[in-house]
Amino acid sequence: MVNVLVIGSGGREHALSWKLSQSSKVDKVFTAPGNGGTENNISLNVDDLDGLAEFAQKNNCFTVVGPEVPLAAGIVDKFNQMNLKIFGPTKNAAQLESSKIWAKNFMKRNGIQTARFEIFDDPKKAKEYVKSLDYNVVVKADGLASGKGVIVCNTADEAIEAIDTILVKKTFGDAGNRIIVEERIDGIEASYIALCDGNTAIPMASSQDHKRIFDGDKGPNTGGMGAYSPTPIIDDILAKKIQDKIIDKTIQSMKSEGIIFKGFLYAGVMIRDNEPYVLEYNARMGDPECQPITMRMNFDLYDYFVASVDGTLSLMPQPLWKNQSSVCIVLASDGYPESFPKDEEITGFDLVPKNTMIFHAGTKKKDGKILSNGGRVLGVTALGDTLSSAISNAYAAAEKISWPHKYCRKDIGKKGLSYL
Ligand code: AMP
Ligand code: GLY
């Protein structure tokens, strides 16, 4: 038996910890730093690489990295040097996410379909370029900005403002030293996530996130306000196209450039005229996509993580998925993604049916109570025989949970229904 250390504190990490704790090979699951829902929390931050390595070594842990920050900081390289088993990509491989410019150039030189783009560090030149275009653009900060460094523009004036926000006002700090100005692609967005060992990429169940804060995909982008799996938007033909033209091509191109990509490879794709375009790569699982995907797993996730680390995924059977739909509704603090109140008591957990999972994100335990402690607070995740029944089950459970500044979108999953 082995112990597992899950690094992170979001809904994704709660879902991973929950699933991994069901493995017959896993003894204890620790989470660092964890949240009000995870057990065996270790008070080490995700960027405390030395502390985390020391803990993993002392406690005979197989480590699973949830968020991008420690990946970009090289946690996998560090653990590898110390002969500690860790699931996730190395710093070099994680550049697919940690530098959007690196990723765009990688796609360009390897013929992976993505939006046309130019790179700038001079605001004046960027503005002249925008004015010369006859299509709308998206302006992106190069580096990590918690999912917020992307501004989708409807007019040239908005693009000029976005250039000022990132390059002049430095709203995202050094992450915005350089920007990408790329063509806005209008289509349907979906998340395609595969588990990779450097050679083989096994697709996870398909899913779709809801990134904007308000119903009808209005308002600013967030980390994600809800997700469901599977999504009818990705049918078998499209899935094969994404697997061949994007996922496998990415893994093989990385390999030919001397980089072995192990871990979750997440392609955020926009589908236009039945063709997938990569909007972004993430070098990790999506949050909240992880929550509904994990709920549908009929296999031992720990075995697949080990096979990813060992490079033996090609020997593993195709993973089995519950034939049901799953929906995760994010309950957030009103005001997110800007400022929001914290430390409000959350009640109603005991009213939720046992087969519905309440994955915690921004919560903490204090004096036996659960308090809100972040923007995205809980992910209420339910199964159903159809997408429509999974939506009803999730919303019925979400209604039982209360705190003063609870906010959620009311239309999670609706985009999927319109494709059935
Ligand atoms: P990213 O972090 O690059 O995925 O961008 C965040 C969100 O911005 C995406 O999930 C899309 O909704 C939107 N987005 C990014 N790039 C584009 C694009 N080229 N065209 C349209 N929307 C985009
Ligand atoms: N849900 C989008 C992300 O994890 O980046």
Q: How do beta strands 188-197 and 262-272 pair? A: antiparallel
Atom of ligand 1 lying closest to residue 149 CA: 2
Task: Residue 360: name the closest of 345, 342, 374, 340 by CA.
Answer: 374
| Averaged pLDDT of the chain | 97
Residues 343-399 pLDDT 10s: 999 999 999 999 999 999 999 999 999 999 999 999 999 999 999 999 999 999 999
- The rounded Å distance from CA 139 to ligand 1 centre is 9
- % of the chain exceeding 90 in pLDDT: 96
Contact of 9 with 44, CB cutoff 8 Å: no
The helix/strand/coil state of 11 is helix
Amino acid in position 411:
D
The domain limits of the chain are 2-88, 116-183, 188-315, 325-417
Q: According to the model, what pLDDT value does residue 298 have?
A: 98
Domain 325-417 in CATH 3.90.600.10: yes
Please, where are the H alpha helices in 212-266? 236-242, 249-256
160 ligand 1 Cβ < 6 A: no
Task: Residue 283: name the closest of 13, 93, 87, 45 by CA.
Answer: 93
Task: Residue 210: name the closest of 192, 191, 197, 232 by CA.
Answer: 191
What does the buried/exposed string (b/e) look like for 106-118 if buried means 16 or more CB atoms within 10 Å of the residue's CB?
bbeeeebbbbebb
pLDDT beyond 80 at 339: yes
41: pLDDT confidence band, cut at 50, 70 and 90?
A: very high
- For the domain spanning 2-88, the CATH number is 3.40.50.20
Indicate which residue's Cα is closest to atom 2 of ligand 2. Answer: 286
- The rounded Å distance from CA 288 to ligand 2 centre is 7
Atom of ligand 2 lying closest to residue 289 CA: 1
The CA angle 105-106-107, to the nearest 5 degrees, is 90
Residues 387-415 pLDDT 10s: 999 999 999 999 999 999 999 999 999 99
- For the domain spanning 116-183, the CATH number is 3.30.1490.20
169 contacts: CB under 8 Å, gap ≥ 6: none
282 ligand 2 Cβ < 6 A: yes
286 ligand 2 Cβ < 6 A: yes
Q: According to the model, what pLDDT value does residue 419 have?
A: 86
The helix/strand/coil state of 77 is helix
Amino acid in position 290:
C
51 ligand 2 Cβ < 6 A: no
140, 192, 211, 287: which to mutate for ligand 2, most atoms within 8 A of CB? 287
209 ligand 1 Cβ < 6 A: no
Average pLDDT value for residue range 309-314: 98
Residues 112 and 116: their CA atoms lie apart, in Å, by: 11
Candidates 3.30.300.250, 3.30.470.20, 3.40.50.620, 1.10.3980.10; CATH matching 188-315: 3.30.470.20
Contact of 393 with 383, CB cutoff 8 Å: yes
Strand partners, 271: 188, 276
289 ligand 2 Cβ < 6 A: yes
